[in-house]
Amino acid sequence: MADKAFLTPKILKWARESSKISLEDAAKKVNVSPERLEAWENGADYPTIRQASMLAKFYRRPFSLFFLPDIPLDFQPLQDFRSDDSIDLDTASLFIIREIQQKQSWISDLYEETGEEALPFIGKFSLDNNPEEVAIDILKALNINPEYYEKDPIKEWIEKAERAGIFVSRTSFIHSKLIIDKDVIQGFAIADKYAPFVFVNSQNWDAPQLFTLVHELAHIWIAKSGISNEIEIDIVGDRKSKYHPVELFCNVVAANALMPVNLMMSIPSDVFDSQRSVFRIVKTLGVSSFAFLYRSLNLGLIDLNSYRELKKDAEEAFNEFVLREQEKKRKRKEEEKVGGPSPYLLKLNKNSRLFTRVVMDSYKSGILPPSIASNLLNTKINKFSKFETYMT
């Protein structure tokens, strides 16, 4: 008979509930009935060590945590800046938030202990400041010129943000069967003075991802850690009161950073004659047609009727684009000619390139034990060299 794991029942129940996993789904994972799992959670029976280990992995909690005498202090939940009618945070969202909090906590402690200087832009501004002023400061601090990108806009923003000391995690999944829904969470920010972290849900196209990234950077500049999903809000005809003031402010900052007034005012008026002309401009700016048109409306470059007409054309063009992309993806799968991106590249983006480099350097210098380094990067030590291929 397999050895029992005499764990603390209330911790087993807490680990499941805090991950928003149903009794039925958890029981299915270890091939027992919901009633039996409930008995484990009530202390009427105990799982085997193997079963408990499987549940720990499923809940993404350390196995040793189950044996503590009481429920441990967990990471403090991030403030939810989403609107009241937003979809509740689900398992995937909670897992990515917890994972980033773990990474952020470790790197912040390391930097503080090693005497790293606090970053000067954390909380440099507040909601009382002019959003345009905040945007200008972000561009200056990151050395970005929206009129001329040296490479793909989102790649340049990420590289320069990490160069400035901001860790950027970008992914759309926890694993292949657990996807982070962009309708639930588009991004979040942790505004720490030593190690600020930004998360961007890559389930979106590059243009809304870039807007999300800059929106979250605005959270860092006003020191408002929290979760977002009302990004690129079109509030024409809607009540602004539906949205959190922080989200509205950060959206205006993002619009000013990605589409500065001077740049917008220099755009020829005939650009608004067709959606095709609009698309050529937004491609160079790295923004969506919707964000560009809304910004143009706010600056008085187009009237409301033109905005609505062009927005309708943009929606039709976008829907056609999505259909074409879906068809390309279907054909690729059928022909089996194109594999997906490297799992190490995906993991590198998820961990943050900057974070990966710090962990690897700490491990190589002997500061960090192999087990902790492996856990932080969710990668076996003997596979660390794979990251080097994609670090440049």
Quick check: helix, strand or coil at residue 38? helix
Comparison of pLDDT for 329 and 140, the residue scoring more: 140
Quick check: helix, strand or coil at residue 11? helix
Cα separation, 142 vs 137, in Å, equals: 9
Per-residue model confidence (pLDDT) at position 237: 52
CATH number, span 9-67: 1.10.260.40
pLDDT surpasses 70 at 329: no
Identify the CA nearest to 349 among candidates 207, 135, 206, 228: 206
Looking at this protein, which amino acid is placed at residue 313? D
Domain boundary assignment for the chain = 9-67, 91-258, 343-388
Per-residue model confidence (pLDDT) at position 391: 81
- The whole-angstrom distance between residue 362's C-alpha and the CA centroid of its chain comes to 25
Lowest mean pLDDT among 114-118, 230-234, 285-289: 230-234
pLDDT surpasses 50 at 336: no
What CATH number does domain 91-258 carry, 1.10.10.2910, 3.40.630.10, 1.20.120.450, 3.40.50.11540?
A: 1.10.10.2910
Per-residue model confidence (pLDDT) at position 229: 84
158-209 pLDDT, tens digit each: 999 999 999 999 999 998 889 999 999 999 999 999 999 999 999 988 999 9
pLDDT surpasses 90 at 120: yes
Cα separation, 303 vs 292, in Å, equals: 14
pLDDT surpasses 50 at 6: yes
The H helix count followed by the E strand count for the chain is: 17, 6
Q: The tokens 């790293």 sit on which residue? A: 116
Q: In this structure, is the dihedral angle defined by the CA atoms of residues 224, 228, 234 and 239, taken in order, positive or negative?
A: negative
Cα separation, 332 vs 334, in Å, equals: 5
Distances, alpha carbon 165 to alpha carbons 108, 114, 161, 278, in Å? 11, 15, 7, 34
Quick check: helix, strand or coil at residue 198? strand
Total length of the chain: 392
Copy the structure tokens of residue 346: 């995906």
Predicted TM-score of the model (pTM): 0.92
Q: Where are the beta strands (DSSP E) in 139-185?
A: 167-171, 173-175, 178-179
43-74 pLDDT, tens digit each: 999 999 999 999 999 999 999 999 999 999 88
Quick check: helix, strand or coil at residue 97? helix
Same fold, 9-67 and 91-258: no
Cα end-to-end distance, the chain, whole Å:
52
pLDDT surpasses 70 at 288: yes
In the chain, the percentage of residues whose pLDDT exceeds 90 is 81
68-104 pLDDT, tens digit each: 999 998 888 899 999 888 899 999 999 999 999 999 9
Quick check: helix, strand or coil at residue 200? strand
